[in-house]
Chains A and B, each alone.
Chain A
């Protein structure tokens, strides 16, 4: 069975500092990994994905994520946080040979960036 763990309910960071939001996963075979962001009272928006290739994936709004197969992790990072990055972030995974109906979401991590 596929699963995703986001070990931190909330991450606090000061504006201008680097941020990391953690995600680990479990899946049979090779994974497809995704990060989504949810702003208040809005739907989820796609940030970035790892399908294959380079382990460092770049996405929207200056975010990037590093795929680490040995540690089964896909942490979200940004070199310099903005107050506007404050939102709820979801990691999601599915196996390469499965469809989106098998996509599993983590429980979410709230990012709070202080001025």
Chain B
């Protein structure tokens, strides 16, 4: 069972570069999320999606973009990397947002912007 898979696991970017963090899930979940985790700050929601073709902003969306062309994939795009985007990024999924079940997380992507 693959669950939620994120790539790459590690990446170093220079200021102003662009990149895409990939996320795919094989559980046929409708809802997918991108979080960032900073030391001592817990997890902050960047973007989420309630299904293919539908995305919405979370708490900290500035500097990021997402797309959801299929149920399985939810890539996160950084257009002009800034040092403030140095963080660990987690993708997660859930069967439905009103469900009382849990989120399923990927193993994370550690991004450093220099």
**A→B interface (CB under 8 Å):** 4, 9, 32, 34, 36, 41-46, 49, 51, 90, 99-101, 103, 105-108
Cβ of B60 within 8 Å of any chain A Cβ, yes or no, is no
B103–A100 CB distance below 8 A: yes
Binds A, one of B13-21, B42-50, B64-72, B78-86: B42-50
Contact residue among B4, B98, B103, B108 (Cβ-Cβ distance under 8 Å from A103): B103
Q: Which of A9, A43, A46, A107 has the most CB of B within 10 A?
A: A43
Q: How far is the CB of A93 from chain B (nearest CB, A)?
A: 12
Measured between beta carbons, the chain A residues less than 8 angstroms from B98 are: 99
CB contacts under 8 Å to A, within B55-114, are: 56, 58, 90, 92, 94, 97-98, 100-108
Q: How large is the interface on B (under 10, 10 to 19, 20 to 34, 35 or more residues)?
A: 20 to 34
B40 contacts A by Cβ under 8 Å: yes
Whole-angstrom distance between the Cβ of A21 and the nearest chain B Cβ = 14
B interface, CB within 8 angstroms of A: 4, 31, 33, 40-43, 45, 48, 56, 58, 90, 92, 94, 97-98, 100-108
| CA distance in complex: A97, B31 (Å) | 17
What are 24 inter-chain pairs, A to B, with CB distance below 8 A? A9-B40, A32-B100, A36-B103, A41-B107, A41-B108, A43-B90, A43-B105, A43-B106, A44-B90, A44-B92, A44-B103, A46-B102, A46-B104, A49-B100, A49-B101, A90-B42, A99-B97, A100-B94, A100-B103, A101-B45, A101-B58, A101-B97, A103-B45, A103-B103
CA A103 to CA B58, docked complex, whole Å: 10
Distance, CA A32 to CA B41, complexed state (A): 21
Query: Once the chains are docked, how many angstroms separate the CA of A9 from the CA of B42?
Result: 11
Q: How many A-B residue pairs have CB under 8 A?
A: 57
Whole-angstrom CA separation of A105 from B48 in the bound complex? 16
Q: How far is the CB of B63 from chain A (nearest CB, A)?
A: 19
Cβ–Cβ contact B108 & A42, under 8 A = yes
A43-B90, A100-B31 given; A105·B108 CB < 8 A: no
Residues in B whose Cβ lies below 8 Å from that of A90: 42-43
